[in-house]
Chains A and B, each alone.
Chain A
Amino acid sequence: MVTLSLDKVNVKLGQRPVVRDVSARLEAGTLVGVIGPNGAGKSSLIRAILALVRSEGHIALDDRDTARIGRAALARAMAYLPQGQTLHWPVSVERLVGLGRLPHLGPMSRISEADTKAIERAMTRADVIALRTRAATELSGGERARVLLARALAVEAPVLIADEPLASLDPGHQIDVMNLLVAEARAGALVIAVLHDLTMAARYCDRLILLDRGALIADGRPGEVLTQDHLRDVYGVEAIIKTETGRPAVTTLWRSPPRV
Chain B
Amino acid sequence: MHTKGVRPPPGHPRRYIVIGVLGMLAMLAALSSLLLGPVALSPERILEALVGHGDAIASTIVLELRLPRTLLGLIVGAMLGLSGAVLQGFLRNPLAEPAVLGTSNAASLGAVTALYFGLAEWHPAILPALAVVSALGSLGLLFLLAGNSESPLTLILAGIAVATLAGAGISLSLNLSPNPFAAMEIMNWLLGSLENRSFVHVWIALPCVVVGMVLLLWDARALDALTLGEDGARALGVSLGITRLRLLLGTAIGVGGAVAVSGAIGFVGLIVPHIIRPLTDRSPSAILVPSAIAGAALLTSADIAVRLIGTTAELKLGVVTAFLGIPVFLVHLLRERRLW
Interface residues, chain A, CB within 8 Å of chain B? 47, 50, 52, 71-76, 78-80, 82, 86-92, 94-96, 98-100, 102-103, 105, 107, 110-111, 113, 116, 132-133, 135, 137, 151, 155
Contact = CB atoms under 8 A, between A and B. Distances in A.
Nearest to B224: A99
Given A75-B237, A89-B92, 14 more contacts: A80-B235, A82-B229, A82-B232, A87-B228, A88-B229, A90-B282, A90-B339, A94-B6, A103-B237, A113-B5, A116-B3, A116-B5, A133-B11, A137-B340
Given A95-B1, A98-B1, A110-B3, A88 B226 contact: yes
A80 B231 contact: yes
A75 B235 contact: yes
B295 interface: no
A93 B234 CA distance: 20
A132 B281 CA distance: 12
B228 A107 contact: no
Shortest 4 CB-CB distances between A and B: which pairs? A75-B237, A80-B235, A133-B9, A72-B237
B232 A102 contact: no
A135 B10 contact: no
A89 B226 CA distance: 9
Contacts of A103: 236-237
A92 B231 contact: no
Interface of B: 1, 3, 5-6, 9-11, 89, 92, 218-219, 221, 224-229, 231-232, 234-239, 281-284, 339-340
B280 to A, nearest CB: 10
Contact of A95 (B231, B238, B281, B339): B281
Contacts of B3: 110-111, 116
B227 A88 contact: yes
15 contacts: A52-B235, A71-B239, A74-B237, A75-B236, A80-B231, A82-B228, A82-B231, A82-B235, A90-B282, A90-B339, A92-B281, A103-B236, A110-B3, A111-B1, A137-B340
A102 B237 contact: yes
B221 A71 contact: no
A107 B219 contact: yes
A95 B226 contact: no
A76 B10 CA distance: 31
B6 A89 contact: no
Nearest to A101: B1
Nearest to A119: B6
Contacts of B239: 71
Contacts of B5: 113, 116
A74 B238 CA distance: 11
Contacts of B92: 88-89
A152 B237 CA distance: 13
B286 to A, nearest CB: 8
A80 B282 contact: no
A96 B227 contact: yes
Contacts of B11: 133
Contacts of A102: 221, 224-225, 236-238
A89 B91 CA distance: 11
Contacts of A137: 340
Nearest to B218: A107
Contacts of A98: 1
B234 A91 contact: no
A52 B221 contact: no
A135 B236 contact: no
A99 B339 contact: no
B232 A80 contact: yes
| Residue of B89, B229, B235 contacting most chain A CB atoms (<10 Å) | B235
A11 to B, nearest CB: 14
Nearest to B89: A89
Contacts of A80: 231-232, 235
A107 to B, nearest CB: 6
Contacts of A47: 231
A113 B3 CA distance: 9
A133 B10 contact: yes
